[in-house]
Amino acid sequence: MTTALSIDSPRVEDGAAIWRIARDSEVLDLNSSYSYLLWCRDFATTSVVARGTDGEPIAFVTGYIRPQRPQTLVVWQVAVDDAHRGRGLAGTLLDALTHRVAARHGIRSIETTVTPDNTASDRLFTSYADRHGASLHREVLFEGGLFPDGGHEPEVLYRIGPIAG
Ligand SMILES: CC(C)(COP(=O)(O)OP(=O)(O)OC[C@H]1O[C@@H](n2cnc3c(N)ncnc32)[C@H](O)[C@@H]1OP(=O)(O)O)[C@@H](O)C(=O)NCCC(=O)NCCS
């Protein structure tokens, strides 16, 4: 079994693997492969990958700084390859990313959205808030009816802060 050797900023060459991990999760909204390549080019400092022994990504977190709130990191997507789940990898990546982004961009809070049926994601962010002694506020950001493709769960905004990195 491959173990994570390193935590790294994504490169454009990682875009395809990140797209595959997102696709295989069967939970995340899968965006175009183009968007993951672009993300690796333009948002590399606010995103992170874990690499296996062969250097290929086995997990990722993508994020961006909110343009109107430069002290807030929005965590866009998190996924761990199925074979590597349940061992704290997502939590480790989230800690590493927020530590880096706090040092570089001075963020004080993170935001993400979670669908009510995603227990693992809820645990990941609740546990993150506990670990960092931060408060966690939840409110619906996008009601299901806003989505044009139908049958979408509401997206609940999790706002976590203050964080020191
Ligand atoms: C959510 C996901 C990233 C978690 O990755 P992971 O490396 O297995 O998570 P961790 O081992 O770091 O666990 C983080 C917390 O979630 C809990 N957890 C992980 N998987 C869980 C599951 N299936 N059910 C319930 N809790 C779970 C862990 O117990 C841990 O909680 P704790 O700190 O209170 O012990 C992974 O399951 C995944 O890729 N899911 C598909 C994509 C997805 O749903 N992404 C999140 C939405 S953006």
Q: What domain range is 157 assigned to?
A: 6-161
**Ligand 1 pocket at CB < 6 A:** 25, 27-28, 77-80, 85-91, 118-121, 123-124, 127
Residue nearest to atom 24 of ligand 1 (CA): 120
Q: Give 90 Cα–ligand 1 centroid separation in angstroms.
A: 7
- Tell which phi-psi region holds residue 73, choosing left (phi > 0), alpha (psi between -120 and 50) or beta: beta
Strands (E) located in 52-154: 57-66, 69-80, 109-114, 135-142
- Tokens coding 103: 């040092």
Domain count of the chain? 1
User: d(Cα 82, Cα 84) in Å, to the nearest integer?
Assistant: 5
156 domain-assigned? yes
Q: Which atom of ligand 1 is nearest the CA belonging to 122? A: 16
Residue type, 143: E
pLDDT the model gives residue 3: 57
CATH at residue 56: 3.40.630.30
Give the residues of the chain that fall short of pLDDT 50: 1-2
pTM: 0.96
pLDDT score, position 164: 80
In a domain, 1, yes or no: no
Q: How far is the CA of 109 from the centre of ligand 1 (A)?
A: 20
